[in-house]
Structure 1
Amino acid sequence: MTFFEELNDGNISGVAYKNIRLKKNIISYLCNSGNCTIAELCKELNVSTPKATNLITELVNDGIVEELGKLDSTGGRKPFIYGMISNSAFFLGVDVKHTYINIGLADLQKNLVSLSENIPYILNNDKKSLLELCELIKQFMSAAGVNKDKILGIGLNLTGRINYATGYSYSFFNFNEEPLTNFLEAELGIRAQLENDSRAMAYGEFNAGVVRDEKDVLFLNIDYGLGMGVLINSHLYYGKSGFAGELGHIPLFNNEIICQCGKKGCLETEASGQALLRLFKQKVAEGSSTSLISQQKLNINEIILDDIIQAAKNDDVLSIELIAQVGEKLGRGIALLINIFNPELVIMGGSLAETGDYIRLPILSTINKYSLSLVSRDTQLKFSKLGRKAGVIGACLLVRKRLLEDTL
């Protein structure tokens, strides 16, 4: 039985269980630290030389680790060096948005080896939408050219309330009694994990994006909705029930707009992509001019969020003005976060972050107005480096992390 087959065997115990855990530690060490010798592994894992040698030999035989030759030495016997075979295993990441999905495949050493972006898809909370999503994932796997047995897990990001520990989604595809992960595993034939999209994006950005040495980081997903991922001391923060980060549902405004959560006055009703879309259509209906209608001859009901974002990049005045309004209101929410968390870094991601200074400048102005200067002066504000790939990368890395954790 190979190592990856052992991982999926729930009946292993005793010495075999301990050996699997040690092998996971070896793989994790090699992935994160690079190549190493047996002596370095013995020190890292606190095991004997014969034990480390046997474990490495088994991983070599399974095609997961390879011998890279001997280390140059000034004297004595030259030790062998070992390293990971990156393409021995893969992780699939699926980032689901309201009008499209992104799917990517990463290898053991975090390299994104295949990526399909902006695949047309409409997210609805029904069985048809879920089955369509599964079909798109199957098509990607088929086109990727990777043996399905080498894909160790799939990470699926959804907006809304997700409990990754139980595998339940409470905002979308919540019509089955069983956990959504159970359905996905049966449909796709791969171990599945769920994650909130903003939290996965935060994890991707933290590990492969704009974050450097910062440990306390807030990631804002400014998209159709408004979400947040929180990293405290370099670890994702989930809260008691796994739902931490519901920034969009802070009751910050006294309005009569009903949020998708069913309440009124949420930040998301005034400072999100859906708020921008609503304002844009309202202004056009009232007679405001825009290049989206006059030049592209779009019907007002056909306009989607990406159309407004692209129009702003093309200097459409109405789009720019409304994005500034959304930015000003969002800045109030960010000022509140800075006063509460005193973070080292706030990252802005999601589709609205692609508008650059059109949203950044009003946010900065409002932060300066509402945040405490002693608290905010050490907080950096940056845009996402990974952009729309953040969710896919984060999903892949979270599956990899959880598979290689020191528990089965």
Structure 2
Amino acid sequence: MANEVSNLQLVKKLNRISVLNIIRKHNTISRHQLAKLTGLTPAAITGIVRDLVALGYVIEKGVGKSNGGRPPVKLQFNPDSGYVLGAEITRNKTTLGMVNLNVKPLFLRKYNIDMGDPYEGISMLAQEVEKMIRESGIDREKILGMGVASPGLVDITTRVVKHSPNLGKKWCDFPIKKRLQEITGINIFVENNSNAAALAEYSFGKGKDSKNMAYINLGEGISAGIIQNGSLAYGFKGYTGEIGHIVINEDGPLCNCGNNGCLESLYAVPALVRKANNELALYNQKDTLKAIWLEKGSVTIEDIIANANEVDSYAWKLIRQAGWHIGKGVAAIINVFNPEAIFIGGILAEAGQSLLDSLRESVQKHAFPELVREVKIEISSMRRDTGFYGACAVAIKALFEGGVDALLDVELSSST
């Protein structure tokens, strides 16, 4: 008997989440249409919709045209019925924000949090989360979860960060999900930052119509998130997409991973900034970036990007050089996974056309001709904030796939 009751409750929850997802994907829909789409009885649909309206997830929005009987009541998803937080963490900067269930941002802020020590860094992040919730004035019960996008190897079964060279040596087997959940009391969902960004691009970016695509993250590191047949490609443990650790020069500089001459050690943002500050001393005095270097004593990635489209300047040549070599990694993705689209994001993507032109030229040279011919390569519409939106997308995806009791376990009626 206990098993029968348990199974009945599970069916109720699954039916409820199925109906909610259908309503969410339609602008407006009627109870009659829901019954046809789900195969559930009109009585069952009536009970489920009653629950969802009572929970605030669904609102009744006017009436439709009658086909002879009573006019159907239009149902709509209520995106303000709940909220999620999202955070993308890097070594020294964290992007934190809050969005509604249609990913409309209420807050989007940058914090200078040192993540070198994961316990201290995550504690500081938790403090900012609490401040943001208080400032929002939103009832805590309406905060349904928080997504975290982290660089490094994130185990897909435990959501433990196994190793993250770009965050520091202390990020080894760090239980980020467990730790942050214990401090905040919020349901936490952790994903590799490039995987999260790929999910965001596919869910509500330029990649909506591309079920086989890749997102290339160009920031403190270089990595890729891959969507295959509409789902994230994880591999055995979830460690796919580490194209930044393709060795392109065995005599090159030491990489955080321990190898020499990795793509990331030569052309990720920190490497480009080091290269510019070392080389500008010998460069043409009339160059605009050289003038900034002389005035400030050093240049930043923002300075490089601001001058990247000045043809024949040092910044232009540096960005084109980076694009050419990054294009080799992108070509490898195309040769192995055969995507229909590639989207370039992260800080370096803000260099725009000078980066994209060089990268495309390299891809054309290094990828298999028949595979590259149909591939669309574009700059991501979300650019450096794609990781943040990806963190939000990870949380929302988990919510609407039944990963959180807040959406499933409230019993309001005897609906089936």
Same fold (TM over 0.5): yes
What residue in structure 2 maps to residue 122 of structure 1?
114
Gap regions ≥5 residues in structure 1: 1-11
Identical positions, percent: 26
Structure 2 partner of 1:62: 55
Superposed CA deviations along residues 91-116 of structure 1, whole A, max 9, x for unmatched, are 111122334222232222x2313132
State the 1:383 CA deviation. 0.7
2-structure distance, mates of 1:368, 1:50: 58
For residues 273-312 of structure 1, the C-alpha deviation after alignment (integer angstroms, 9 at most, x for no partner) is 1221221122135566564564473233xx4433322343
Is 1:384 the equivalent of 2:380?
Answer: yes
2:160 is the counterpart of 1:168: yes
Q: Secondary structure at the match of 1:42?
A: helix
> Shift of the alpha carbon at 1:178?
7.1
2:218 is aligned with 1:222:
yes
User: How far 1:79 moved relative to its partner?
Assistant: 2.6
Kindly report which structure 2 residues correspond to 1:44-193, keeping only aligned pairs within 5 A, or say none.
Answer: 44-108=37-101, 110-170=102-162, 171=164, 172=167, 179-193=175-189
Question: Cα deviations across residues 314-337 of structure 1 (Å, max 9, x unaligned)?
Answer: 789222221121111112222222
Q: SS of the counterpart of 1:399?
A: helix
RMSD: 2.5
1:348 CA displacement: 0.8
Report the secondary structure of 1:270's partner residue: helix
SS of structure 2 residue aligned to 1:114: strand
- State how 1:222-261 maps to structure 2 within 5 Å: 222-261=218-257
Q: Describe the SS at the equivalent of 2:96.
A: strand
**Can you give the 5+ residue segments of structure 2 that lack an aligned partner in the other structure?**
405-416
How far 1:20 sits from its partner (Å)? 1.8
AA in 2 matched with 1:274: P
The 3 A distance-change label for structure 1 pair 374 and 385 is same
The answer on whether the counterparts of 1:291 and 1:316 sit within 8 Å (CA) in structure 2 is no
Task: Name the CA distance, whole Å, in 1 between partners of 2:261 and 2:184.
Answer: 40
Corresponding residue of 2:408: none
Q: Which residue of 2 aligns with 1:364?
A: 360
Asked if the contact 1:100/1:120 (under 8 Å) is kept, the reply is yes
2:266 is the counterpart of 1:270: yes
State the TM-score, normalizing by the size of structure 1: 0.88
Deviates more, 1:368-377 or 1:172-181: 172-181
Matched with 2:395 is 399
CA pair 118-320 structure 1, distance change in 2 beyond 3 A: farther
Call closer, same or farther: CA 1:369–1:315 in 2, change over 3 Å.
closer
Describe the superposition over 1:369-403 as per-residue Cα deviations: whole angstroms up to 9, x where unpaired.
Answer: 22222221111111101223322222212211112
Q: Residue deviations 1:59-101, cap 9 Å, x none?
A: 2222222222332113123232222222111111112233422
The offset of 1:13, in angstroms, is 3.2
3-state secondary structure, aligned to 1:393: helix
Please report the TM-score for the alignment, with normalisation by the length of structure 2. Answer: 0.87
Would you say the 8 A contact 2:198–2:225 is kept in 1? yes
- Please tell me whether the aligned partners of residues 25 and 406 of structure 1 are also in contact (alpha carbons under 8 angstroms): no
Q: Using the alignment, how far apart are the partners of 1:207 and 1:375 within structure 2?
A: 24
Deviation at 1:167, TM superposition (A): 2.0
In the alignment, the residues of structure 1 paired with residue 86 and residue 338 of structure 2 have an alpha-carbon distance, to the nearest angstrom, of 31
| Structure 2 Cα separation of the partners of residues 374 and 119 of structure 1 | 45
CA shift for structure 1 position 177: 6.9
CA drift of 1:191 comes to: 0.3
| Rounded Cα–Cα distance in structure 1 between residues aligned with 2:311 and 2:374 | 33
